[in-house]
Amino acid sequence: MAYRELLQPDEHIACLWISDATPERRRGRVLPDACVDVVWVGGRLEVAGPATAAVIADVPAGAIAIGVRFKVGAAGAALGLPAGELLDSSPALEDVWGRVGREIAERVGEAPTPAAALHALAAAVRARLAEPTDQLVRAAATGTARSDLGIGDRQLRRRFGDAVGYGPKTLERILRFQQFLALAAVARDERVSVGRGERAARPDLARLALEAGYADQAHLTRECSRLAGLPPAALLATGAGPAGDKSVSFKTDRAAAATMAA
């Protein structure tokens, strides 16, 4: 399966992505990444809301999957409603944007090629982007804000709920989990490059846990099981990699590995 992300110089949109069709039906484990996507797959256009647990997604045989991924903290402004209303759900875009969502779905479905479908989807979504991103929440979400944000805890939680879909503590858990996946991917590449044997190639989960910010390996195991539905070693064995702002293509111009692990 070829999966590609195209970075976008946009206040709201992080990337466009496309997953090529295959002759077989595909099932994938989509991991929480603090992002929200508008996704076209199997003839349905839907909003993949902010997730707090892994979702098993199905892609029919012969079907492409394309999407527009919003930056962390930009979903509420981009979609024009509190992101918390989409928590752990994937409604049809028509249910979010009404008639406009239905018209966009028709336009994407009539596109003659996957590239044209992605272009049509991106153009239609951009045409709806009017509200500016909550820059305070965006800065806090990306770790660039000061520790003292100058607002109360209640207001911060409300603004996070509107912009991200959940509160700062949940966001912290998910971004730490994605940091673990990013560090594990780097460690895997390093092991491959030096050509170590299979036994030596096993990830050092205790070291990765500490580097990612967990208290210990047991803490990592509990969080990974809650967020991904698998313990760390089993998850990494599926080939799972970082997604959202931690995706490799957010840092390079090369194609990213699939973030939908088998």
Q: What is the mean pLDDT of residues 32-44?
A: 94
Q: What is the mean pLDDT of residues 158-177?
A: 91
Each residue's pLDDT tens digit, 252-261: 444 444 443 3
Report which of residues 191 and 53 the model is more confident about: 53
Which of the residue ranges 21-30, 67-76, 244-253 would you say has the lowest mean pLDDT? 244-253
pTM of the complete model: 0.84
What is the predicted pLDDT for the residue at 9? 84
Q: What is the mean pLDDT of residues 7-30?
A: 90
Helix (H, G, I), strand (E, B) or coil at 65: strand
What is the predicted pLDDT for the residue at 196? 52
- Residue 11: pLDDT band (50, 70, 90) is confident
CB-CB contact of 196 with 188 (8 Å): no
Per-chain mean pLDDT for the chain: 85
User: Does an H or E element contain 15, and which?
Assistant: strand 13-19
Each residue's pLDDT tens digit, 109-155: 999 999 999 999 999 999 888 667 777 676 666 665 555 556 677 88
158 has a pLDDT exceeding 90: no
Helix (H, G, I), strand (E, B) or coil at 80: coil
Instruction: Say which residues have a Cβ less than 8 Å from residue 139's Cβ, sequence separation at least 6.
Output: 145
Instruction: Say which residues have a Cβ less than 8 Å from residue 106's Cβ, sequence separation at least 6.
Output: none
Written as six digits, the tokens of 160 are 């996070």
53 has a pLDDT exceeding 90: yes
